[in-house]
Structure 1
Amino acid sequence: MNRQGSSVQASGIHADAPKTAIEGTTGPQPHRSRGRRFPAPLVTGTALIASACLVALISLWWTPFDLTGVDTAGSLLPPLSDGHLLGTDRLGRDVTSQIMAGARNSLIVGGAATGIAIVVGVVVGLITAASGRVAREVITRVIDIGVAIPALLVALVLATVLGPGRATVIAAIVISFVPWAARVSVGPARQILAREYVEAAFAYGRSRWYVMMRHVLPNIGSLIAVQAAIMFATAVLAEAALSFLGVGEPPPAQSWGRLLSESQSVAHQAPTLVIFPGLAITAVVLGFMLLGNGVHALLDPHQRRREMEARE
């Protein structure tokens, strides 16, 4: 027994030391998360957007009632009346069916406008960043002028020329969004072009197109993704506002903005006719805003570090 104690002391470990101290890592260790946690805004936003997309897809093949069916005898029914989950409007049309079809219209307009604006705007931004000083100044001033033009003014001018419709709304949103997408991408692109490995690529004879596609665009991809989510939310809101003003696609096409416009005169009798379309717009806009915030938190290393420190 004494021989064991002396051997333990000789090894530099006290005989009364805890077992875990002697065995090293064999004792219980603090719990460490093996998986990567997704930010709460990303999960919530994805759930809201997925729900809206599911409703829009279902409306392609099925709605509870005919979208064009008019029944004045059953007008302004409250929710949960005669099979109408959300009630009926002043013409007796089913509100649930109209909101489902309105989701499809909002997502189509938002997706088309955002996709076109991001592609064109990022290309303009990359060209601006790679241009010489004089050309860059000229393009930047044009971008600033485009940013200053209100989207509503563009929509009204296009509606006068082209007439109201979905194409008019998409064109108005694209014209308003392209300068913003270009402005957001110019600064980061110029910073990346100034880095040593990019200058080395030019020194090796790589073309500007190769450098832009291989080095610049992947490095600003997260920024573009966040901007696209924010633009999508803004596009949905803009489509509702323009349809509310009568610039959007005319009936029988459905739009949340026009539902709000048509319900103004009876809002005091049936406030749910204003509440339900408003909630639908809010849910989709909030979903894309949260998605943008979540993507930023997921891809930004500084944000991830702050969240890890907060959890610890």
Structure 2
Amino acid sequence: MTAQEIKVTTEKAGMAIEPAIRAPWMEGMQRLLRQKTAIFGLIIVCILLLTALLAPLLAPYDPVAPDLPSRLQAPSATHFLGTDELGRDILSRIIYGSRISIQVGLLAVGISLIFGTFLGAISGYFGGKLDMAIMRVIDIVMAFPYILLAIAITAMLGPGLNNAMIAIGVVGIPIYARVVRGAVLSVKEMEYIEAAKVSGCGSLRIIMKHVLPNCLAPLIVQATLGIGTAILDAAGLSFLGLGAQPPTPEWGIMLNKGKDVMNIAPWVIMFPGIAILFTVLGFNLLGDGLRDALDPRLRNNN
């Protein structure tokens, strides 16, 4: 193929790229809406988001103000989910805890996504010794148990919600780096990438404009699944005393404090656990649905 033919091919590709990308995404969304489990997950996620946004309007009581005369009351018309060991309304604390969970999930996944995408893109695109060096570091990081590495990083930085988010984000970087690298290795062999190189596009422009846009599907799926995992990990770190600190209305803290009175007031630990369960379930179902909808290899099965 001559340089002139390649230039013509690039121009045609540029004119056709938007419809070509839009059509699969529209088909993917239609397949997603046909999956009942994915819709159920989407409903859970939407409820969680609305709860977090409208927390001041939905919460009937102050989530941090103690009310000792009302301590360890069972669920009733006054306190729908009961009260904890300090008399605080559990429903109000769960509602405000949804804000923290969403914050942790989005920021932790954002850290993993940004740095993981950067490392995976340059590793997959340039290859060679750079690829080998980055992947060996990734392999070393992934050799450590995920939660233990998060605990170690949080312990070094010090207890706190922000440090917990950083730790969860850091330990998630290798996952996104591998996902992006695999996608880039496949995309960079396409003809339109070669056409872009011949037409004079620099490496950065090719990566940002041609390579990464075609790697979005696996990234979106991994990020959706990753939010649920990050929320669960943050609750685990808070349960161990390394994440959010009292009196913050965080679900992991509620489980930690509730374990001491679970024999006489099981609702103190039961309802925060249910909140974590449905939140993680919602993101996992939505992520699985997105994977099935956006993966071209599964189109014939939907």
1:61: how far off? Answer: 5.0
1:53 aligns with 2:49: yes
In structure 2, runs of 5+ residues without a counterpart are: 1-28
1:35-114 matches, within 5 Å, as 36=30, 38=33, 39-60=35-56, 63-81=59-77, 83-114=78-109
Provide the secondary structure at the position in 2 that maps to 1:293.
Answer: helix
1:166 aligns with 2:154: no
CA distance in 2, matches of 1:159, 1:291: 29
Residue 210 of structure 1 is matched in structure 2 by 205
CA distance in 2, matches of 1:195, 1:184: 18
1:97-176 matches, within 5 Å, as 97-176=92-171
Residue 234 of structure 1 is matched in structure 2 by 229
* Aligned residue among 208, 221, 230 for 2:216: 221
Q: 1:178 to 1:58 in 2, by over 3 A?
A: same
CA distance in 1, matches of 2:105, 2:220: 15
CA distance in 1, matches of 2:104, 2:129: 36
CA distance in 1, matches of 2:145, 2:185: 28
1:295: how far off? Answer: 1.1
1:62: how far off? Answer: 5.2
Q: 1:295 to 1:152 in 2, by over 3 A?
A: closer
Residue 190 of structure 2 is matched in structure 1 by 195
Deviations 1:91-129 (A, max 9, x none): 111100111111111110111111121121011100101
User: What is the aligned residue count?
Assistant: 272
Provide the alpha-carbon RMSD of the alignment: 1.8
TM-score, structure 2 normalization: 0.85
Range moving further from structure 2, 70-79 or 244-253: 70-79
In structure 1, runs of 5+ residues without a counterpart are: 1-34, 308-312
Kept after mapping to 2: 8 A contact 1:75/1:93:
yes
Deviations 1:248-295 (A, max 9, x none): 121221110110110111111121222111110011101111111111
* Aligned residue among 288, 291, 300 for 1:296: 291
TM-score, structure 1 normalization: 0.82
CA distance in 1, matches of 2:171, 2:89: 34
1:69: how far off? Answer: 2.4
Provide the secondary structure at the position in 1 that maps to 2:85.
Answer: coil
CA distance in 2, matches of 1:190, 1:234: 27
Counterpart residue type for residue 123 of structure 2 = T
Deviations 1:195-221 (A, max 9, x none): 222122212221111211222112111
Kept after mapping to 2: 8 A contact 1:229/1:288:
yes
* Aligned residue among 133, 152, 177 for 1:182: 177
Q: 1:159 to 1:196 in 2, by over 3 A?
A: closer
Kept after mapping to 2: 8 A contact 1:165/1:249:
yes
CA distance in 1, matches of 2:162, 2:82: 31
Kept after mapping to 2: 8 A contact 1:151/1:172:
no
Kept after mapping to 1: 8 A contact 2:55/2:95:
yes
1:60: how far off? Answer: 4.0
Kept after mapping to 2: 8 A contact 1:243/1:249:
yes
CA distance in 2, matches of 1:98, 1:128: 44
CA distance in 2, matches of 1:159, 1:306: 43
